Structure 1
Amino acid sequence: MELNLELAQQVLAAQPFSVLVGARVTAFGDGGATLELDIRDELRQQNGFLHGGVLAYAADNAITFAGGTALGADVLTGGFTISYLRPAKGLVLRAEARVAHSSRRQATCTCELTTLDESGTITLCAIAQGTVIARR
């Protein structure tokens, strides 16, 4: 089975939670993956910012997809950390993950989470790092 953007989109579409938040894979391959979702009221916290759990979800999933580019399709998140740099607000959240290092059974990935606002400004709002493990 060839791992490509179309297959990554099918895998994401099979995740009920990803469908619920409206996530989409916009790039996949060459050691990286990008996940995006529209920022809408249902995903905000009480101060009007995107909920931190949504950012963590996006980082987790983008990291795992990126790890899959190095390890194959049968992978799981082994763990990740996230640092919130500033409140996430705007129109779109983008999680761009890259493989920093991989072995036969594990990949370590980094992820930058940015928002795009109405004027086209991109703002870095969080950084994450995670480990992806092959299930074989």
Structure 2
Amino acid sequence: MTELSFGAAQRVLDSQPFSGLIGARITEFGDGVAVLEVDVREELTQQNGFLHGGVLSYAADNALTFAAGTTLGPAVLTGGFSIQYLRPASGRTLTARAEVVHTGRRQAVVRCDLHTVNEEGDATLCAVAQGTVLSARPT
């Protein structure tokens, strides 16, 4: 298995056109953990002014796969995930912190907590996700 460095992980994220559209960045990567951040902007909100649920799902999906990539190697794909929205997401920044719960030979189970951070730096848990990430390496 080839390990991915923090810089290489950021380059992978940067190569995803949708991630560029969202404005995502990696702020932590390694040892079964990945953290993605997205600045909250008006164009990412829904009709009530809260961050759109699709943005939270995007952040969870990518954080899950990047975290799993630290244990499975860089060639990974989301097998599936579920997300529970706990409260409306508003603030300055969305932070998705994913951590590997278990890694097998070909898959990893990963949990992700999604917080919004306000102008004062206070974090509020707004969603939780869990998923299975599969190795895409040839067998």
TM-score range, shorter chain: over 0.9
Q: Does 2:109 align with 1:108?
A: yes
Q: Distance in 2 between matches of 1:62 and 1:4?
A: 15
Stretches (4+) displaced over 6 A = none
Q: What residue identity is the alignment partner of 1:126?
A: A
Q: Which secondary structure does the structure 2 equivalent of 1:90 belong to? A: coil
Q: Distance in 1 between matches of 2:3 and 2:27?
A: 17
Which residue in 2 is equivalent to 1:23? 24
Q: Does 2:35 align with 1:34?
A: yes
Q: Distance in 2 between matches of 1:73 and 1:2?
A: 7
Which residue in 2 is equivalent to 1:6? 7
How many residue pairs match? The answer is 136
Q: Distance in 1 between matches of 2:96 and 2:50?
A: 16
Alpha-carbon distance, 1:6 to partner? 0.4
Alpha-carbon distance, 1:2 to partner? 3.8
Q: Which secondary structure does the structure 2 equivalent of 1:47 belong to? A: coil
Q: Distance in 2 between matches of 1:2 and 1:122?
A: 31
Q: What residue identity is the alignment partner of 1:21?
A: I
Q: Structure 1: which 5+ runs fail to align?
A: none
Q: Distance in 2 between matches of 1:88 and 1:37?
A: 12
Q: What residue identity is the alignment partner of 2:39?
A: D
Q: Distance in 2 between matches of 1:87 and 1:112?
A: 14
Q: What residue identity is the alignment partner of 1:111?
A: C
The share of aligned pairs that are identical, in percent, is 64
Which residue in 1 is equivalent to 2:61? 60
Q: Which secondary structure does the structure 1 equivalent of 2:47 belong to? A: coil
Which residue in 2 is equivalent to 1:98? 99
More deviation, 46-55/115-124: 115-124
Q: Structure 2: which 5+ runs fail to align?
A: none
Per-residue displacement from partner, 1:114-134 (whole Å, max 9, x unpaired)?
Answer: 010012110000000000000
Q: Distance in 1 between matches of 2:61 and 2:106?
A: 18
Per-residue displacement from partner, 1:7-56 (whole Å, max 9, x unpaired)?
Answer: 10000000000000000011000101000010000000000000000000
